[in-house]
Structure 1
Amino acid sequence: MIEHVKVLAALVIGSASFLGSVQRSSATTSAVTAIDILLNPDETVIKAAEAVNARMLRDFPKGFSLDATHRPHITLLQRYVRTADLDNIYTVVDRIFRKEAVTGFKLKATKHYYIPSGEIGLSGIVIETTADLLRLQQELIDAVAAFTVKSGTSAAFITAPGDPEINQGTMHYIEVFVPEHSGTKFLPHVSTGIATRAYLDKMMAEPFESFTFSPIGAAIYHLGDFGTARTELRAFDVK
């Protein structure tokens, strides 16, 4: 779990400049696409995450905003897949979400956390791992396995015209998501922003009132640099 957190910090810290740039999707032109299969949380989580994000931006204005291109979400699986198989992936993933009653999952936000990187840190809300999440993640891993490739280049991601290269940390993270960040090493979370460590230390000392929530949707996104879910490729009906 500690290694997961360290890699997560490397992926997201420094994302501010990228998040404000113009996007270019290569999903239809590259042979490989980097995807994120995720859950969309209900309004309870969105409001909580946006409230923390507003605090982060007041302390560190260069951080990222939670907006249309960086919505609060819970990543279940990140993989490199063959672009030609995207329609097949949508079909098998849709079958899983039609079977799993994800809106009935009772999830619990347990605490704030942050990952230090120099004088700043990435903040987030930790979600308690449940048997439902682990079962769903494994079903997705198994379903997508036939369409997965070991690695990808920058062409597998959404990139900015002036910055077409994806950092090596991002590319490696997706290569090893299974098994290094899945199963017993899975750490569900919702990223909330970047702030100075001095400010985050004060926030960590504040009491956290845990709350429960349920997912309201699921989707596959095309990934950008620093592991950001940049463009929705397919949304799924859930029950």
Structure 2
Amino acid sequence: MKLQAFKYHFIPDHDIGLAGIVVRQDSNLIRLQQKLIDAIAPFTVKTGTAAAFVTTPDDPEINHPTIDYVATLVPKASGKNFIPHITIGIARQDYLKRMLAEPFRTFEFSPAGASVYQRGNFGAARKQLKALDLKP
């Protein structure tokens, strides 16, 4: 699978934001996403609590925007609304705004592996549950 990264983005929360690199959406990614949604459907619930997430001593509570985001993720962010991306970190919004203003050099890449993670704040991958090797 060849993917193309084409811009930065970030999701704001107060004075910080969660940054990512956006990947061009294509029909292969949409089909893969739907297969994943179908595969995990028997294990999902409509809503959950903060107990479903990973916390750390430095980040002991899960913020409500994260809980709300995960509860509505599939209906709001699947199919034509899917924005494939690679999360790259958290930073202050003033820095992220400057980053977005800079030119982005597009590049192609292919995934070498995939993992399933339990999420923490901002939906960030916190605890690896399963790793998959995608080498041919």
TM-score by length of 1: 0.50
Aligned equivalent of 1:172, options 68, 83, 103: 68
Q: 1:229 to 1:209 in 2, by over 3 A?
A: same
Range with greater deviation from structure 2 (187-196 or 211-220): 187-196
Structure-1 separation of matches of 2:97 and 2:37: 36
Name the structure 2 match of 1:233: 129
Higher strand share: 2
C-alpha deviations, 1:155-211, integer Å up to 9, x for none? 1111235764322111111111111011111111123331442x4444334322111
Q: How many residues align?
A: 134
Name the structure 2 match of 1:108: 4
Structure-1 separation of matches of 2:85 and 2:11: 12
TM-score by length of 2: 0.83
| Two-structure CA RMSD over aligned residues (Å) | 2.3
Matching residue's letter, 1:218: A
Structure-2 separation of matches of 1:111 and 1:162: 30
Name the structure 2 match of 1:159: 55
Matching residue's letter, 2:127: T
Check conservation: 1:154, 1:164, Cα contact below 8 A: no
Structure showing greater Rg? 1
- Unaligned ranges ≥5, structure 1: 1-104
Matching residue's letter, 1:175: A
- Say which SS state the counterpart of residue 112 (structure 2) adopts: strand
C-alpha deviations, 1:55-85, integer Å up to 9, x for none? xxxxxxxxxxxxxxxxxxxxxxxxxxxxxxx
Matching residue's letter, 2:112: I
Name the structure 1 match of 2:109: 213
Structure-2 separation of matches of 1:227 and 1:147: 18
- Unaligned ranges ≥5, structure 2: none
Matched, 1:203 2:125: no
